[in-house]
């Protein structure tokens, strides 16, 4: 079985998508078809050759080609706004002049079937309607009921009953509206594609022979050094090796303020160097930068059909044949049953045919969802699929990790209390030796405290052998022949070495919002080290905004209950679950899901992976540059700013409002014109306005989300 991707250059609306599906769906070796209308991409799972598929698509005249022949394979594909070529506009102008002349001549002469009226009408149809007629013929060959087939029937029917000028006006208006609709859809296609232009195509690279040399960014390899002058954009991802500056990271994280950069800091492709000269070591090729991954993930999200789109597709599959059947009944039932005149009812049936195709309804959902996804990406919120953008509006419960989510995630040692005859330096050295291999924030704080003190005491850190992590509790190892461990309050209680005096000291520290750990040697407590992590100012605002959205907040943390309650009280959290291991957080999410329909989980994307994966929507904090966070989460908040969460939920609700508006507009306009058609008040050209005008209306309404 083979999977091939094709670009369909002229696939601009749901009718053409339906045509492609009808053409290839009948081939015996085609297993599945996946059409991305906004990217004009067709993905086929099949057991035949690509040439056979291209031969089958060729009669449709939609410009099918293999994707790898259209664009470089190392960059994510994007649809750029294309300037409309002059030739279609010139032909359309000639068609319009001929149609207007035919209508004017028929009105002034009172004869709609004279030679010159007929000649002008045929010129208008031939010049402006050839593309519509060709697509209508392709639809007829594949037995596809789409707007082009219905338009052809309407035009032929109008000419058959002598309405030559109106047939010409209808074909002209339809061709004009299709061209405008195609151009308007380009903006939706380009919403995320413009991000790719943020990374410059050239890079100033250091070479052994020529010193600094400007080359194509795509040729730069990992490990090379790149220089970026003030005012220039970063061409690739990297780590700063020389220079200091402030960088505008809005394209990646959505941050409004520039971020200071110094040696050792990460920089991302597409971000803007504002002041100083920077040199950085490249860490990713052009196709693997954070910016490229964002574009690729958002495009994949656009390709995945949302819940509303799946419903609309099912609805349209029944709606179109039903309306065509109604049009046939309107045209022939009154003349056959009640001996009514044929021509007036045939004309009404043709009007119903023109407004039968659900193009506006089908296109409204992907355009709206794509606009919402693009708006989120520009704000530094990466959404893995339209389904999450739609679901978030119904989420009323959110669980949050503490460290790194509500707090800065950079705790520092605040207290060292010795319980035996050990000095603070010796306590800190032993604790750091045990924690040096741990990634836990508390462990990093202890190691950092030792590194700062080691400069003064000029002492080296001993090596801990037989190192072992005690999940959710601490670590242990052998140092200079002695057994040591360092762990939390829960660990010393389980070891039954928590005396009343020690318990009192631990509780006192925890009531101050500090995380207390105990250094144990020879099965007795040696010292207490307290670590504190400050609450982010943005967390308080975010929790307040979530409450304004009627969302309940719950803290899930491995920290002790007293510290957790102190932080929760300061942040305004509704409920606290403390002393949780990773599996306990997973169990807590499962319990919440049994109580609430949708539950969100916000964490760092690594330690909270099980809970993030189990939640209805998993949110990873500070995902910029993190492969793990981008892979695990359903929604990645690229910046360490929890305010992005209520911002995303507000966007979800706005997207839902626009979706409902578009569905009501699409169906409402159709229903109104059905009534007008049956009452004899609608003409064919009015029906064209109703059909394509509705499509334009829902497209522009969906694009409003880009302004958020």
Tell me, what DSSP letter sits at residue 466? E
Beta carbons of 225 and 279 less than 8 angstroms apart: yes
Q: Which residues are catalytic?
A: 401
Beta carbons of 477 and 433 less than 8 angstroms apart: yes
Beta carbons of 68 and 159 less than 8 angstroms apart: no
Beta carbons of 532 and 379 less than 8 angstroms apart: no
Q: How many residues belong to the chain?
A: 708
* DSSP element (H, E) containing 240: strand 238-242
Residues 36, 641: Cα–Cα separation, whole Å: 32
**Of 416, 420, 419, 421, residue with least CA distance to 431:** 416
Distances in whole angstroms, Cα of residue 695 to Cα of each of 312, 361, 700? 14, 8, 9
Bridge partner residues of 546 (DSSP): none
**Of 648, 577, 584, residue with least CA distance to 610:** 584
- Cβ atoms within 10 Å of 23's Cβ, excluding its own: 24
**Of 446, 476, 440, 471, residue with least CA distance to 461:** 446
Provide the edge-to-edge strand list for the sheet that holds 259-261: 259-261, 245-248, 272-273
Give the up-direction half-sphere exposure of residue 245: CA atoms within 13 A in the CB hemisphere: 27
**Of 365, 368, 369, 364, residue with least CA distance to 389:** 369
**Of 185, 380, 377, 388, residue with least CA distance to 296:** 377
Residues 437, 464: Cα–Cα separation, whole Å: 9
In the structure encoding, which two tokens stand for residue 152, read together?
A: 């052809």
In the structure encoding, which two tokens stand for residue 203, read together?
A: 């890079």
Residues 14, 502: Cα–Cα separation, whole Å: 71
3-state DSSP call for residue 397?
strand
Residues 372, 706: Cα–Cα separation, whole Å: 7
**Would you call 392 exposed, middle or buried from its count of C-beta atoms within 10 A (0-12, 13-18, 19+)?**
buried
Q: φ, ψ for residue 48 (rounded to 5)?
A: -130, -170
């Amino acid at each position: 079985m083979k999977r091939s991707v094709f670009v369909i250059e002229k696939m601009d609306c749901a009718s053409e998508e339906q045509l492609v599906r009808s053409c290839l769906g009948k081939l015996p070796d085609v297993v599945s078809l996946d059409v991305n209308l906004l990217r004009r991409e067709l993905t086929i799972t099949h057991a035949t050759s690509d040439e056979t598929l291209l031969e089958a698509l060729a009669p449709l005249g939609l410009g099918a080609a293999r994707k790898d022949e259209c664009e470089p394979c190392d960059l994510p594909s994007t649809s750029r706004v294309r300037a409309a070529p002059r030739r279609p506009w010139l032909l359309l102008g000639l068609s319009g002049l001929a149609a207007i002349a035919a209508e004017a001549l028929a009105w002034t002469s009172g004869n709609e079937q004279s030679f010159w009226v007929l000649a002008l009408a045929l010129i208008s149809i031939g010049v402006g309607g050839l593309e519509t007629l060709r697509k209508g013929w392709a639809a007829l060959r594949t037995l596809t009921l789409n707007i082009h087939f219905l338009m052809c029937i309407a035009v032929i029917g109008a000419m058959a009953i002598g309405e030559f000028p109106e047939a010409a006006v209808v074909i002209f208006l339809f061709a004009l509206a299709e061209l405008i609709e195609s151009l308007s859809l380009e903006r939706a296609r380009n919403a995320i594609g413009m991000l790719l232009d943020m990374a410059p195509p050239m890079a100033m690279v250091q070479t052994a022979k020529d010193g600094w040399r400007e080359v194509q960014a795509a040729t730069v390899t990992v490990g090379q050094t790149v220089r970026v002058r003030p005012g220039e954009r970063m061409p690739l991802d990297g780590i700063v090796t020389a220079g200091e500056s402030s960088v505008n990271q809005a394209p990646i994280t959505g941050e409004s303020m520039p971020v200071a950069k110094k040696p050792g800091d990460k920089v991302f492709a597409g971000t803007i160097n504002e002041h100083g000269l920077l040199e950085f070591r490249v860490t990713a090729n052009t196709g693997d930068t954070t910016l490229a991954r964002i574009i690729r993930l958002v495009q994949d999200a656009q390709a995945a059909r949302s819940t509303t789109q799946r419903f609309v597709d099912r609805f349209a599959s029944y709606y179109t044949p039903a309306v065509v059947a109604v049009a046939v009944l309107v045209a022939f039932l009154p003349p056959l049953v009640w001996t009514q005149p044929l021509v007036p009812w045939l004309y009404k049936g043709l009007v119903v045919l023109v407004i039968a195709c659900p193009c506006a309804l089908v296109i409204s959902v992907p355009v709206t969802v794509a606009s919402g996804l693009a708006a989120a990406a520009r704000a530094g919120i990466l959404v893995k699929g339209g389904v999450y953008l739609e679901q978030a509006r119904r989420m009323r419960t959110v669980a949050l990790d503490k460290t790194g989510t509500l707090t800065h995630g950079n705790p520092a040692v605040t207290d060292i209390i010795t319980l035996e005859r050990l000095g603070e330096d010796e306590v800190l050295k032993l604790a750091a030796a045990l924690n040096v291999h741990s990634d836990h924030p508390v462990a990093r704080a202890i190691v950092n405290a030792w590194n700062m003190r080691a400069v003064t005491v000029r002492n080296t850190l001993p090596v801990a052998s037989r190192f072992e992590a005690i999940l959710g509790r601490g670590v242990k190892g052998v140092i200079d022949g002695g057994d040591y461990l360092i762990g939390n309050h829960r660990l010393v209680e389980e070891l039954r070495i928590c005396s009343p005096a020690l318990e009192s000291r631990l509780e006192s520290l925890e009531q101050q919002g500090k995380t207390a750990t105990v250094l144990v040697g020879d099965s007795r407590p040696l010292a207490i080290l307290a670590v504190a992590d400050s609450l982010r100012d943005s967390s308080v605002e975010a929790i307040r905004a979530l409450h304004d959205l009627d969302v309940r907040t719950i803290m899930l943390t491995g920290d002790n209950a007293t510290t957790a309650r102190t932080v929760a009280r300061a942040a305004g959290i509704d409920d606290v679950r403390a002393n949780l291991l990773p599996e306990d957080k997973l169990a807590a999410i499962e319990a919440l899901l049994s109580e609430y329909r949708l539950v969100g989980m916000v964490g760092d994307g690594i330690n909270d992976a099980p809970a993030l994966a189990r939640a209805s929507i998993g949110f990873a904090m500070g995902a910029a540059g993190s492969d793990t966070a981008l892979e695990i989460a359903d929604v990645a908040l690229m910046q360490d700013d929890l305010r992005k969460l209520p911002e995303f939920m507000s966007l979800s609700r706005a997207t839902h409002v626009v979706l409902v508006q578009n569905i009501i507009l699409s169906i409402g306009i159709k229903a109104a014109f059905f009534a007008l058609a049956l009452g004899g008040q609608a003409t064919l050209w009015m029906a064209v306005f109703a059909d394509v005008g509705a499509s334009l209306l829902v497209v522009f309404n969906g694009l409003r989300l880009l302004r958020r």
